Structure 1
Amino acid sequence: MGQTLFAPNATKSGTMIKLHKHDLPDGLDLGPVVAIDTETMGLNPHRDRLCLVQLSAGDGNAHCVQIIPETLGGRGADCPNLKRLLANPDQVKLFHFARFDVAILRQALGVEVAPVRCTKVAAKLVRTFTERHGLKDLLRELVGVDISKQQQSSDWGAPELTPEQLAYAASDVLYLHALWARLEGLLIREGRLELAEACFRFLPARGQLDLMGYEDPDIFAH
């Protein structure tokens, strides 16, 4: 049974955030394109555990799945509904910086996430006039939304997450559909959509290479 919250401040008025312990509920339909993000204990997928997976259908609401290890009384990677969605070939998974997310999801849950789209990759392909490719900058400049990053470095491994943490987590997925729509238009305008799609198809393999230690040295470097 999920816990329903109405998020303060960091998300748009009326947004519903539903917190689910361990897995998504049976029968939840999040549509053909699902925005997804993760919160972890750090940025090393070999060392730092996955704590939260947040998802949105682009309808203004968010679902957050708290992944609790068995050593702390949880179910760990036993989340069949979530894993089924992540691997569903008919459901596009929309990320910002998918390279990290697909790697941590593979490492923690043993699932290859596909197909994917990545707004960071898209932004770097068409916004070559700037180095500002972070989600906060893109949402402000392309969607007109200003999100808070205050909770970014909080303790995501805590057994009980605060409403402020959940509001922050939700804000990372609530606007990805709108952002992708803007970036897809730019990719089409600049004739780079096909190139972007090729990059997106490669991202699951890029994440696997990172897990195997091929982040440094980069096998694509000279």
Structure 2
Amino acid sequence: MANFLHEGDLPDGAFAGATAVAIDSETMGLRLGRDPLCVVQLSSGDGDAHVVRLDRSTYDAPNLKRLLTDPAVVKLFHFGRFDIAMFLLHLGVMTAPVYCTKIASKLARTYTDRHGLKDVTRELVGVELSKVQQSSDWGAAALSPEQVAYAASDVLHLHALRERLDAMLVREGRMALAKAAFDYLPHRAALDLAGWEDVDIFAHS
């Protein structure tokens, strides 16, 4: 198991043959339109993680963009709504198809209101994630080893989470509902960018 740091883009051939890739991102904050996308981390579930420090002057990352839009590769997220919106805004691509472990957790784990990655990973995988580096400077000219390790940790367990959550969704008869929610997620991200970030368009008022 290893973490690989790349500058600007994924190397040619990365994730060739993969059918599902776990993805997360690091930004300078959580406000769309204000805070830049800085880092994207990915894993195929083999224990390795690839951490890409983006060139924010161009966001020219053709290999990454190709993967995000590959219809043969499911992109796994936890709270994918934000990452997908960031990718659409800064990389100019709509990420699909997608799977979100946070949505899956909310549909399957109705016995709790704790659906953060740290809580879900602890319960379903038995791994305690550290969040020490979460609020560090991701726009720095160089990433520290601690930042790279933190970024990697957020994608290394998403495949295992998907497997366990899928079993729960099937057990509870909610898999079809989850798939429909995943299909809608890129459109929800587009609505966020269009100005409906804080509006529930399905609400009565």
TM-score bracket, shorter-length normalisation: over 0.9
**1:129 deviation in Å?**
1.1
Structure-to-structure mapping, 1:74-93, within 5 angstroms: 76-93=58-75
Q: Which residue of 1 aligns with 2:170?
A: 188
Residues in 1 aligned to 2:80 and 2:156: alpha-carbon distance in whole angstroms = 16
- Give me the whole-angstrom Cα distance separating, in 2, the residues matched to 1:28 and 1:216: 36
Deviation string 1:83-126 (CA, Å, 9 cap, x unpaired) is 00000011000000011110001001000000000000000001
Aligned to 2:29: 42
- Alpha-carbon offset, residue 156 of structure 1: 0.3
Counterpart of 2:115, as a letter, is H
User: Does structure 1 conserve the Cα–Cα contact (< 8 Å) formed by 2:37 and 2:56?
Assistant: no
Partner Cα distance (1:208, 1:139) in 2: 28
Output the amino acid matched with 2:193.
Answer: L
So what's the TM-score if we normalise by structure 2?
0.97
Letter in 2 for 1:184: D
Supply the AA of the counterpart residue of 2:143: L
Q: Is the 8 A contact 2:67 2:73 kept in 1?
A: yes
Please list every run of 5 or more consecutive structure 1 residues that lacks an aligned counterpart in the other structure. Answer: 1-14, 71-75
Amino-acid identity (%): 63
Task: Please tell me whether residue 179 in structure 1 is matched to residue 161 in structure 2.
Answer: yes
Q: Which residue of 2 aligns with 1:73?
A: none
Residue 52 of structure 1 corresponds to which residue in structure 2? 39
Aligned partner of 1:21 in structure 2 is 7
Give the match for residue 221 of structure 1: 203
Amino acid at match of 1:220: F
Q: Is the 8 A contact 2:104 2:169 kept in 1?
A: yes
Give the corresponding residue for 1:140. 122
The Cα shift of 1:216 comes to 2.5
SS in 2 for 1:198: helix
Note the C-alpha offset of 1:177: 0.3
2:113 corresponds to: 131
1:157 partnered with 2:144 = no
Amino acid at match of 1:40: T
- 2:194 equivalent in structure 1: 212
Question: Aligned pair count?
Answer: 203
Runs of 5+ consecutive residues of structure 2 not aligned to the other structure? none
Q: Alignment partner for residue 198 of structure 1, among 180, 184, 187?
A: 180
| Aligned-partner Cα distance in 2 for 1:85–1:217 | 30
